[in-house]
Structure 1
Amino acid sequence: MIVRIMGEGQVRLEDSHFPELNRLDDELAAEMDSGDEPGFRRTLNALLDAVREMGTPLPDDSLEPSELILPAPEATLDEVRGMLNEDGLIPGTTDPEPAE
């Protein structure tokens, strides 16, 4: 999957990295829900660092379509809220509804 970090560039991530990224995304969502600004900042940076470390950077002149766009490190809590979908920032992060 091609992931863009706003203001930085793109990286290619293998699907095997998404469980760890989903865990961080869930943690970020919980901090956003509670209004925990320091926790939000810490977890956003941990998420972006993980993407940078696990991913393979694409050349700056590459024009690959991004399948996932993540906020810049300095993004505010409100800016990130505006980027969320039903799964959080990263697809597949919401827990499924419990079976009855």
Structure 2
Amino acid sequence: MIVRIMGEGQWKLDDSHFAELNKLDDELLEEMEGGDEEGFRRVLGALLDAVRRLGSPLPDDALEPSELILPSPDASLEEVREMLSEDGLIPG
């Protein structure tokens, strides 16, 4: 799967990592629903770090269709809230 982090670029991740990302997405949704800014920052950072750690960055000149689009690390809680579906940032 191809994942885009807004403002950074794209990473190619094996589908086997979906469960780990989905777990972090669920945690992020919980922090947002509770309005916990510190918890939100911590979990958003962990989610983005997992993408960077588990994935292989695509070259800057590559533009592949992204299956997941994640917010930038400095996105506000409100900005991320606008990106969410009822399933979180990661459907499923």
Q: TM-score range by the shorter chain?
A: over 0.9
Distance in 2 between residues matched to 1:64 and 1:23, nearest whole Å: 25
The within-5 A match list for 1:1-100 is 1-92=1-92
Q: Which amino acid aligns with 2:13?
A: L
> TM-score by structure 1 length?
0.90
Matched residues, percent identical?
Answer: 76
Distance in 2 between residues matched to 1:29 and 1:11, nearest whole Å: 22
Report SS of the residue matched to 1:62: coil
Measured after TM superposition, the shift of residue 76 of structure 1 is 0.3
Report SS of the residue matched to 1:87: coil
> TM-score by structure 2 length?
0.97
Measured after TM superposition, the shift of residue 86 of structure 1 is 2.2
Report SS of the residue matched to 1:40: helix
Measured after TM superposition, the shift of residue 71 of structure 1 is 0.0
User: Which residue is 1:98 aligned to?
Assistant: none
Unaligned runs of 5+ in 1: 93-100
Report SS of the residue matched to 2:38: helix
Report SS of the residue matched to 2:10: strand
Q: Which amino acid aligns with 1:88?
A: G
Q: Which amino acid aligns with 2:12?
A: R
> What number of residue pairs does the alignment pair up?
92
Structure 1 runs of 4+ aligned residues shifted over 6 Å read none
Report SS of the residue matched to 1:11: strand
Distance in 2 between residues matched to 1:86 and 1:32, nearest whole Å: 12
Q: Which has the larger radius of gyration?
A: 1
